């Protein structure tokens, strides 16, 4: 499951969407960290908006934020039934997460080695996600959060290499710009047709031996 992403830089998000970029988010994002998401906005000229959201979905009924440490990925096979996700799914709270790359562990050497998955051309891309809104009871702060959707990737030439032997292989769902509108306006009945495997010809992966797994301190300001 994906717990580490490199969000697209503010300038890249602006280029992708044509919207003013949000600022002040970490250069690397882990559950509990902020990252940009793209949502629909009927009042905006482009019909889209970019917001900062917490990585790890917090359902409206949660008592605190800690649940987000476990809800960073949502399995598409069970997203409609799981209590943490079903409201966001049924209310069509779909979004896109613009990223430069994400990371998964490869066990082919007998131990976990972090690998980067990214486009061959180095360009940022967007992955499918759902979002929700939660209110901090003590302060009244409204927190928007998200969970990235995953599909089975057993046998996929790239994503089939990751995670421990015997574990199910999973992959994020890449949504190209030509399908943004379809994804953001989809219904729970039509959205499943878009849950396609990552296009092998456009993506690659490589070992990032020596890359620290500690939370990054740098931010895009």
Residue 31 — φ and ψ, nearest 5°?
-50, 130
The residue behind tokens 């992959």 is 171
Q: What is this structure's pTM?
A: 0.91
Domains contained in the chain, CATH given: 5-210 (3.90.1680.10)
CA pseudo-torsion sign 19, 3, 55, 171: positive
pLDDT digits (tens, 9 = 90+) for 139-197: 999 999 999 999 998 888 888 888 777 778 899 999 999 999 999 999 878 888 889 88
pLDDT digits (tens, 9 = 90+) for 89-101: 999 999 999 999 9
Residue 147 host element (H or E): strand 142-152
């Amino acid at each position: 499951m994906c717990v580490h992403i490199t969000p697209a830089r503010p300038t890249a998000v602006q280029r992708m969407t044509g919207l003013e970029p949000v600022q002040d988010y970490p250069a690397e994002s882990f559950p509990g960290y902020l990252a940009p998401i793209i949502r629909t906005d009927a009042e905006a000229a482009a019909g889209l908006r970019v917001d900062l959201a917490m990585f790890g979905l917090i359902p409206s009924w949660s008592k605190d934020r800690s649940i987000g440490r476990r809800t960073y990925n949502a399995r598409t096979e069970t997203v409609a039934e799981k209590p943490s996700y079903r409201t966001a799914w049924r209310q069509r709270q779909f979004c896109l997460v613009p990223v430069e790359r994400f990371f998964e562990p490869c066990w082919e050497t007998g131990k976990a080695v972090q690998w980067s998955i990214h486009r061959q051309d180095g360009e940022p891309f967007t992955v499918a996600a759902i979002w929700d809104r939660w209110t901090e009871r003590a302060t009244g702060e409204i927190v928007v959060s998200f969970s990235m959707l995953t599909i089975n990737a057993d046998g996929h030439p790239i994503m089939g290499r990751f995670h421990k032997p015997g574990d199910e292989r999973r992959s994020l769902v890449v949504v190209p710009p030509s399908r943004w509108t379809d994804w953001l306006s989809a219904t729970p009945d039509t959205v499943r047709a878009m849950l396609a495997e990552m296009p092998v010809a456009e993506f690659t992966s490589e070992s990032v031996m020596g890359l620290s797994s500690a939370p990054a301190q740098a931010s895009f300001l």
